[in-house]
Amino acid sequence: MLQLLALAAAALLALAPTAGALPKVSRVGKYLYTEDGNRFFIKGIAYQTQGRKLPTQLKHNLIVFYSPPPVGLNLSFIFDTSHDFLVVDNLADSAACARDLPTLQKLGINAIRAYSANSSLNHDECMQALSSAGIYVILDLTLPLNGSIDTTLPAWSTNTLDQYLRTIDAFEKYDNVLAYNVGNEVMTPTATQAAPFLVAAARDIRAYLNSISSSALVGYAAIDGPASFVDNEADFLACSESASIDIFGLNNYEWCGNEPNTTFDSLNSRFANYGVAAYFSEFGSENCNPNPRLWTEIPVMFRYSLHSTVLVPAINLVHFPLSEPMTNVWSGGVAFSYFTDMSKGHDFGMAALSPDNSSVTTNADFDNLAAKFNAVTFVNSPAKGASTPSLPSCPSPSPPGWNASNTLPATPNDAACGCLANELSCVFTPPSPDYMVLVGQLIGIACGLVAQAGGTCDDISSNGVTGTYGRLAMCDPTIKLSYVMSQYYELNHRVNAACSFSGNATINASAKPSLLAAAAASSCIPSPAIFTPSAPPVLVPDAGKKSNSTSGGPTADNSGHSTNGGMSGIVVSRGLLVGVTAALGCVVGGMIWTLA
Ligand SMILES: *[C@@H]1O[C@H](CO)[C@@H](O)[C@H](O)[C@H]1NC(C)=O
Ligand SMILES: *[C@@H]1O[C@H](CO)[C@@H](O)[C@H](O)[C@H]1NC(C)=O
Ligand SMILES: *[C@@H]1O[C@H](CO)[C@@H](O)[C@H](O)[C@H]1NC(C)=O
Ligand SMILES: *[C@@H]1O[C@H](CO)[C@@H](O)[C@H](O)[C@H]1NC(C)=O
Ligand SMILES: *[C@@H]1O[C@H](CO)[C@@H](O)[C@H](O)[C@H]1NC(C)=O
Ligand SMILES: *[C@@H]1O[C@H](CO)[C@@H](O)[C@H](O)[C@H]1NC(C)=O
Ligand SMILES: *[C@@H]1O[C@H](CO)[C@@H](O)[C@H](O)[C@H]1NC(C)=O
Ligand SMILES: *[C@@H]1O[C@H](CO)[C@@H](O)[C@H](O)[C@H]1NC(C)=O
Ligand SMILES: *[C@@H]1O[C@H](CO)[C@@H](O)[C@H](O)[C@H]1NC(C)=O
């Protein structure tokens, strides 16, 4: 079957029109335009298999060792209550892409959104098939587990930067990458401290894209919430010329069933003057009346003015009357979701797979979506350059609902962190490739011990609320851990027992005998700087074992406790966050598990 599907894919590629590359899309002011000067709107669908949930004990082993899981693995673990996700890279599955492309084309879409990609895999067939069909890709650079900036213990560090850059390197050869997202639903209404790290990520990814002459947009997909949160979040992400996203995505489910056409009025007036492009990075509320979904928001979202000959500069509107087009404010949206996606007991999926995965069956939601999407006519105004509102102001220090510093962390520096790793006296020795959870635990333990011995973990800590960033906060977590272990060892006059950590650490006999970790940091780590990152170090599968590695290894997993995996449709207005907090050693902040 796979062979047949692969042939089908090949045939499809061969038959596809040999049209030139898809036109580049760029942002001018708050709108998107293709090279020919026409406005561009996103008319898309989320194309991502929902991550399978794994129990805490097994997930890391599974991800590192067993991808795909071997025969005989007890798969009933999979629907555990844990909220971590196994990476599914749909864009690497060429047979599935060939299977799905005709179905996607029925929707009349011009974009899909994919939530995770594995840069080690080949994406040629899917990306080229999509391109031939005129479909752009909005790609999240994040991975589940430690592959994203964390909601409550955020950092912008070499391992995450390098993962993002590797993904960009794997996708830049395609002509249909519309945007790269630096995060999905990382900030929440109760935890906004990741904001400076996300903006730093946008800044450094923008610089890298510029350095490789990429025109892809830099985006972020935001969880919805109270206006006090969403508005500050949107402003924060776009308030600096040198560190701004190009496109703000809002995962918005407020239109539910037969909503009145005034439903988006509040959003419209709030975003009327927004300085960069904005779109709905997810939409399509489930379990509404009527059900299946009628998608009545689509004609509203893409509606053009009935008075389009009367020019009303939208940027001056404070109240947004119904008769004015939403297209003056938004650049389209991404319907959620192609694949089955369970959230709160409801399935947002519109295409079900046959048991052998060879065919898809679409549902009534899909048919209704196709009807509405195919009826959309894009407006072509304002003209390129006609409206370029200024960027928003950064939120004033502590507006209600917002808790983040305007001081950004520096660009993560692989060379500096690698230099330090080579000089440390006591080095973390991962007992297995499955080490990212252990690293978190050991940092907590080691920081506790260092504090008792009179030291601090300030060097490795960062705080997005106060805008203070330790000089090592940008380094890979394994290097941070080795640094703290070395400090403890040195505070204890280098007795062997102080560099054991129950067998998780090893003395480096080759390290300079009297060099203190802090002094090594002073010589290796320059003052914080903003610079254009260069291509990331080559990925070594067991990178964490190498002393001079600056990369956390291929699975670098993130908390995944936020919906960083991004595969959950969330109806914010229906009660969203359930938080549980836990202290973790010296590291500032708590952890929040969000139930999606
Ligand atoms: C598989 O896992 C489930 C859930 O933990 C357990 O109840 C079941 O006994 C396991 N089956 C086997 C064959 O180990
Ligand atoms: C809502 O908007 C749609 C699309 O413009 C229009 O067809 C419909 O009549 C409107 N409904 C109401 C109640 O205004
Ligand atoms: C079908 O696809 C799903 C999702 O990609 C995968 O988990 C499953 O193993 C596949 N089943 C078969 C029979 O290939
Ligand atoms: C902001 O963060 C500070 C320090 O973490 C905390 O004390 C304060 O309660 C927070 N304020 C809000 C509004 O979340
Ligand atoms: C990685 O994520 C896990 C939770 O999924 C967390 O326990 C651990 O501390 C994280 N590791 C690091 C180094 O951040
Ligand atoms: C490493 O540290 C963990 C957590 O404290 C501990 O359970 C384990 O026994 C230690 N040693 C090894 C070799 O993993
Ligand atoms: C030990 O220190 C030497 C000399 O600084 C360095 O070259 C080497 O990479 C270090 N080894 C480990 C395991 O950290
Ligand atoms: C350390 O880094 C150097 C240069 O980046 C590389 O040649 C060497 O193989 C690395 N050593 C280890 C043990 O990773
Ligand atoms: C990416 O793919 C490679 C090659 O199949 C695999 O070894 C690795 O575990 C994958 N990484 C993730 C994060 O799934």
**Band of residue 19 on the pLDDT scale cut at 50, 70, 90:** low
The separation between CA 530 and the C-alpha centre of its own chain, rounded to angstroms, equals 21
Q: What pairing do the DSSP bridges indicate for beta strands 42-46 and 53-54?
A: unpaired
Domains along the chain with CATH numbers: 22-374 (3.20.20.80), 414-528+538-573 (1.20.58.1040)
pLDDT category of residue 304 using cuts at 50, 70 and 90: low
Question: Per mean pLDDT, which range of 91-100, 438-447, 535-544 is the poorest?
Answer: 535-544
- pLDDT, one tens digit per residue, over 68-101 is 443 444 333 333 333 345 678 999 999 999 999 9
Model confidence at 165: pLDDT above 70: yes
Distance (Å, rounded) from C-alpha 583 to C-alpha 570? 27
Residues lining ligand 1, Cβ inside 6 A: 74, 76-77
Percent of the chain topping pLDDT 70: 78
Q: Ligand 1 atom 3: the closest Cα is on which residue? A: 76
pLDDT at 20 over 80: no
Tell me which residues have their CB closer than 6 angstroms to ligand 8. 546-549
Q: Alpha-carbon distance 509 to 424, whole Å?
A: 10
pTM of full prediction above 0.75: yes
**Distance between Cα 102 and ligand 2 center (Å):** 31
- Per-residue pLDDT tens for 384-418? 988 888 999 999 877 888 999 999 999 999 999 99
Supply 231's token pair. Answer: 């508005």
Q: Between these two residues, 432 and 228, which has the higher pLDDT value?
A: 228
pLDDT band at 52; cut points 50, 70, 90: low
**What tokens appear for 52 in the block?**
């399978």
Ligand 6 site: residues with CB under 6 angstroms? Answer: 431, 438, 441-442, 502-504
The DSSP code sequence of 420-484 is HHHH-SEEE--SSS--HHHHHHHHHHHHHHHHHTT---GGG-EETTTTEE-TTTTS-HHHHHHHH
Give the count of beta carbons closer than 10 Å to the beta carbon of residue 185: 27
Query: From the CA of 377, how far away is ligand 7's center (Å)?
Result: 63
Quick check: 322 pLDDT over 70? no
Contacts of 538 (CB under 8 A, 6+ apart): none
Q: Find out whether the beta carbon of 439 lies less than 6 Å from any atom of ligand 5.
A: yes
Distance 70 CA to ligand 1 centre (A): 16
pLDDT at position 517: 98
Average pLDDT value for residue range 553-579: 24
In the predicted model, what is the mean pLDDT of residues 354-373? Answer: 96
Q: Are residues 87 and 116 in contact, defined by beta-carbon separation less than 8 angstroms?
A: yes
Long-range contacts (CB closer than 8 Å, 24 or more residues apart) made by 73-80: 78/52, 78/53, 78/54, 79/52, 79/53, 80/53, 80/54, 80/55
d(CA 151, CA 464): 11
Which ligand 1 atom sits nearest the alpha carbon of residue 74? 1
Starting from the CA of residue 481, give the closest ligand: 5
| Ligand 5 atom nearest to 477, measured from its CA | 13
Ligand closest to Cα of 467 equals 4
Atom of ligand 2 nearest to the CA of 260: 13
Q: For position 431, what pLDDT does the model report? A: 84
How many distinct helices (H) and strands (E) make up the chain? 14, 20
Q: Evaluate: CB of 403 within 6 angstroms of ligand 4.
A: yes
Angle at 177 between CA 66 and CA 390, to 5 degrees: 125
Residue 318 has pLDDT above 60, yes or no: no
d(CA 83, CA 129): 33
Q: Give 491-496's long-range contacts (Cβ < 8 A, gap of 24+).
A: 491/450, 491/453, 491/454, 491/455, 492/453, 494/425
Ligand nearest to C-alpha 80: 1
Of all ligands present, the nearest one to the C-alpha of 82 is: 5
Instruction: Find the radius of gyration of the CA atoms of the chain.
Output: 24
